[in-house]
A and B are shown apart, each in its own frame.
Chain A
Amino acid sequence: MKIMVAVKRVVDYAVKIRSGVETSNVKMSMNPFCEIALEEALRIKESGRASEVVSVGPAQCADTLRTGLAKGADRAIHVEFPGTLYPLSVAKIFKALVDAEKPGLLLLGKQAIDDDCNRTGQMIAGLLKWPQGTFASKISVVLDEGNKVATVDREVDGGLETLSLDLPVITTDLRLNQPRYATLPNIMKAKSKVIKKLTLQDLNVEIRSDLEVVQVIEPPKRQAGVVLSSV
């Protein structure tokens, strides 16, 4: 069974950004939730079948994909698009990719740390009409002949909800696993792994931007308190 993992290249979480979000010289890396999704895919693979890493974005995403390959993914697909993409567009692209690659399981991070949308996974599930298990903190997959089922523990406001789903779209939460390091032998092996490049025309996807960013401002600085003489 093929597992497809979506990864997003975002500003590294340890970097302090000033307002206006300059992304030119800033350290970029794989979204932490996507790392967790990739780790889960690799663990399932180590007791199952292939896993592939897909990312959507401009040319620089290649290093994020290389990191994914260095951690153990078999193949990478890079869909090139130079602008900013919002979740619905990304979801449409992934629908086209899933139709082409036919994976049995799709794993994503629950949200990206730059826009915190928390929408892409759910939208993909909607477009594909696949079941979804979001905010997963535990996943176990059964792959017998007549019985392909994923049991997902979800972290919800009321506690933990356990769902049993026919192979679905899963978005991963923080406590699912601890991502592995890319060790040097795997980094060397990744050099010869393939990154397939695709454009939106190849996938027959047309996207239009329904959202426009009007303004980005910092929250107002915290005012000093007022000392009262009595209450």
Chain B
Amino acid sequence: MQKLFALTSSLSRRTRSSAAFSTSLLFDDTQKQFKESVAQFAEENIAPHAAEIDRSNYLPKDVNLWKLMGDFNLHGITAPAFKFFFVEMFFCICTSKLVMYAVKLYLTSLSATEEYGGLGLGYIYHCIAMEEISRASGSVGLSYGAHSNLCINQLVRNGTPAQKQKYLPKLISGEHVGALAMSEPNAGSDVVSMKCKADRAKGGYILNGNKMWCTNGPVAETLVVYAKTDMAAHSKGITAFIIEKDMPGFSTAQKLDKLGMRGSDTCELVFENCFVPDENVLGLEGKGVYVMMSGLDLERLVLAGGPLGIMQACLDVVLPYVKQREQFGRPIGEFQFIQGKVADMYTSLQSSRSYVYSVARDCDSGIVNPKDCAGVILCAAERATQVALQAIQCLGGNGYVNEYPTGRFLRDAKLYEIGAGTSEIRRMIIGRELFKEQ
């Protein structure tokens, strides 16, 4: 009934945001407004479904979350406009007149992207959106990240105007779901050794092979897939393609039954003589590794928002619990061991957050440093697993019971140590770069 709905929704709104911590140095007013807005949206529309999504391993059938997020302009956050980089320059050499001019440019650039429906904003906003959605539900956050960054952002950065015009509008509105596939059953960390072949044919290529662990694979209409056009050339023989779900020869195998991130559908992709026309090559033939590696840096940055959201969700659950749970005549939050745990959780979250958003700010200015992009997700993901473990511990026996979300937080957090490059690969990237710089 309308009465109950209005009452309950206004009550459920923002009951958790009181635990969101002030991060005044990280965000300006607009970004704070956006953060609150997305937090409210996620709290009202995604959080109520989170437990059921995890239990059933499906996204809700009665509500189209993709469309809802699209209506909230969350998918095309980084679809940039050609004027975007001018605006960044102006912001760097600010005077009040230039700021007004830049703001006007910014606004017209917003309308320039409206042909695709994007927003022309940067990675800070994207990370904020990723964090708040993951806070409501880790699975929805991961699927959202794969769709909006792995697929949409790759198209935005490497697509031709024709490709962008064909695929972006529906992806950004949420009507179509996007995915990206590079790993194979025998090529995970060693992704460059992929065996999926793309043989030259008349007017295009014929793809043969398998891809594994593709997030959104079962439901995606548009997929970015990497295959080898030249097996002998190793990394220089990789090409990126845009695949459509209906292409003959392309199919998806069964959905994977995962430890966590349940509901974020993941599956194996199968290519059997799948014909892909020339106009679906993303970037240039043989230059796929550049598309892949530069995309991976930004993917790691945006996905780092995921573990931040999970850590925040852990604190959202733990803080009220330790205030209300009493043992030995007092709330357990008064005992030093619990205070110690909560303090560790808090500092892990705040320090990871500072790192992630500082690097996001750099990336928005055009400074993309692979070491730091790998560093942020390495840091945030490992901290998130520890924070989730501590969250379970703070809840004690209740933490071990699935009625409480802490078990789901742990299972969801663990993924981020593996996907987008395992922690080991990330360490290798950072160490290798530091060594080279010496």
Whether chain B is bound by chain A comes out as: yes
Residues in B neighbouring A188, C-beta threshold 8 A: 30, 106-107, 110, 119, 121
Is A217 at the interface (CB under 8 A from chain B)? no
Residues in B neighbouring A178, C-beta threshold 8 A: 5-6, 9
Q: Which 7 pairs of residues, A with B, have the shortest CB-CB distance?
A: A182-B37, A14-B14, A184-B73, A187-B33, A14-B15, A183-B73, A184-B34
Binding site for A on B (CB under 8 A): 2-3, 5-7, 9-10, 13-15, 17-18, 29-30, 33-34, 37, 40-41, 72-74, 77, 103-104, 106-107, 110, 119, 121, 125
Is A67 at the interface (CB under 8 A from chain B)? yes
Residues in A neighbouring B2, C-beta threshold 8 A: 175
A189 touches B40 (CB 8 A): no
Near B by CB (< 8 A), chain A positions 163-178 give: 174-175, 178
- When C-beta atoms are compared, the residue in chain A nearest to B128 turns out to be A184
Is A15 at the interface (CB under 8 A from chain B)? yes
B30 to chain A, nearest CB (A): 6
Residues in B neighbouring A181, C-beta threshold 8 A: 37, 40-41, 72
B33 touches A192 (CB 8 A): no
Complex: A136 Cα to B125 Cα, angstroms: 38
Given contacts A32-B10, A175-B2, contact A192 B107 (CB under 8 A): yes
Complex: A230 Cα to B34 Cα, angstroms: 61
A184 touches B119 (CB 8 A): yes
A-B pairs with beta carbons under 8 Å apart, 8 shown: A14-B14, A14-B15, A15-B18, A70-B33, A181-B41, A185-B110, A185-B119, A188-B30
B9 touches A182 (CB 8 A): no
Is A27 at the interface (CB under 8 A from chain B)? yes
Is A191 at the interface (CB under 8 A from chain B)? yes
Residues in A neighbouring B18, C-beta threshold 8 A: 12, 14-15, 27
A207 to chain B, nearest CB (A): 30
Residues in A neighbouring B40, C-beta threshold 8 A: 181
Given contacts A63-B29, A175-B3, A192-B103, contact A187 B37 (CB under 8 A): yes
Residues in B neighbouring A189, C-beta threshold 8 A: 107, 110
Is A66 at the interface (CB under 8 A from chain B)? yes
- When C-beta atoms are compared, the residue in chain A nearest to B12 turns out to be A14
Binding site for B on A (CB under 8 A): 12-15, 27, 32, 63, 66-67, 70, 174-175, 178, 181-185, 187-189, 191-192
Complex: A174 Cα to B2 Cα, angstroms: 10
B30 touches A191 (CB 8 A): yes
Residues in A neighbouring B110, C-beta threshold 8 A: 185, 188-189
B17 touches A14 (CB 8 A): yes
Highest count of chain A CB atoms <10 Å: which of B18, B104, B121: B18
B107 touches A187 (CB 8 A): no
Complex: A192 Cα to B106 Cα, angstroms: 10
Residues in B neighbouring A184, C-beta threshold 8 A: 34, 37, 72-74, 77, 119, 121, 125
Residues in B neighbouring A66, C-beta threshold 8 A: 29, 33
Residues in A neighbouring B3, C-beta threshold 8 A: 175
Complex: A206 Cα to B212 Cα, angstroms: 73
Complex: A32 Cα to B33 Cα, angstroms: 17
Complex: A14 Cα to B103 Cα, angstroms: 34
Highest count of chain B CB atoms <10 Å: which of A32, A184, A191: A184
A185 touches B103 (CB 8 A): no
A67 touches B6 (CB 8 A): no
Complex: A12 Cα to B41 Cα, angstroms: 17
Residues in A neighbouring B34, C-beta threshold 8 A: 184, 187
19 additional contacts (CB under 8 A) given A13-B10, A184-B121, A192-B103: A14-B14, A14-B18, A27-B18, A63-B33, A67-B33, A175-B3, A181-B37, A181-B41, A181-B72, A182-B37, A184-B72, A184-B77, A184-B125, A187-B30, A187-B34, A188-B106, A189-B107, A191-B30, A191-B103
Highest count of chain B CB atoms <10 Å: which of A15, A66, A183, A192: A183
Complex: A188 Cα to B106 Cα, angstroms: 9
Residues in A neighbouring B9, C-beta threshold 8 A: 178
Complex: A13 Cα to B320 Cα, angstroms: 17
B37 to chain A, nearest CB (A): 5
B30 touches A185 (CB 8 A): no
B75 to chain A, nearest CB (A): 11
Complex: A181 Cα to B129 Cα, angstroms: 14
Residues in A neighbouring B74, C-beta threshold 8 A: 184
B119 to chain A, nearest CB (A): 6
